[in-house]
Amino acid sequence: MRVIPAIDIIEGKCVRLSKGDYATKKVYNENPLEVAKAFEAHGVEYLHLVDLDGARAKEIINYDILEQIASGTSLKIDFGGGLNSERDLETAFNSGAKQITGGSIAVRRPEVFLDWLGRFGPEKIILGADAKDEKVAISGWEEDTALDLIPFIESHRKKGVKYVICTDISKDGMLQGPAEDLYRRIIEKTHINKTTIGMSGVEDERVPGIKLIASGGISCLNDLIRLQGVGCDGAILGKAIYENKIGMKELESFIYKK
């Protein structure tokens, strides 16, 4: 399971929110590049970078921070927040993103999201499927929808999506443990039947249809171990690091043990 620290950006600063509420903003560092370099120094390979200003404005705002981190580190960055046009997509990739996460656009303009998926491929386009009471939420989690989470994910799997980032918003920033049961059900519901030919003849096998990246609520190393057991491809964590609930040496030992 990949360990993916998060850097959320407001006004160029590294911040964290609780349950996606902008009023709970807490600044942890005014230099996101410094934070990214610290992650890299402890063996981290991946970074989840979110432009919270962009999510609100519905266009990329903090692309300069993405560019600084991409050019100043070797981290593989997935970038989200404010991706609503072809121009935004080009800006993200030109600024150094290896992958982009589309959440709001997959709901508001699904034809555009699917066009991106077709042109750039499922290795570069991640579906952002964040939920409140198992209903999809968009626009930096400030707008609820009537879309049921698991059918929404499954419908996109059938259209070619490979990677999904899912945050249970009620867990985000609360340091009370991730939504293990939800992730287990997502993985089970999005399995596919695969026919193989073995020593005993033709066999049917159920295999994961998506690579699920869990996000929200991680509070300790045991949470990462449990998510690995559930079958998650990756886990995004933020506040647990910033509040020293998981030490960097502890995180480094987990990365190198897997």
Distance CA 229, CA 184 (A): 10
Distance CA 218, CA 125 (A): 24
Rg (CA), the chain: 18
Single out the catalytic residue among 53, 78, 130, 223.
130
Distance CA 124, CA 97 (A): 9
144 is catalytic: no
The DSSP code for 168 is B
Q: Are the CB atoms for 3 and 252 separated by under 8 Å?
A: no
The Cβ of residue 52 has, within 10 Å, a number of other Cβ atoms equal to 24
223 is catalytic: no
Q: Are the CB atoms for 197 and 42 separated by under 8 Å?
A: no
If you search the block for the tokens 């100043």, which residue do you land on?
72
The DSSP H or E segment spanning 138 is strand 135-138
Q: Phi, psi at residue 180, to the nearest 5°?
A: -60, -45
Q: Which amino acid type is present at position 191?
A: H
Q: Are the CB atoms for 89 and 60 separated by under 8 Å?
A: no
Q: Which residues are catalytic?
A: 8, 130
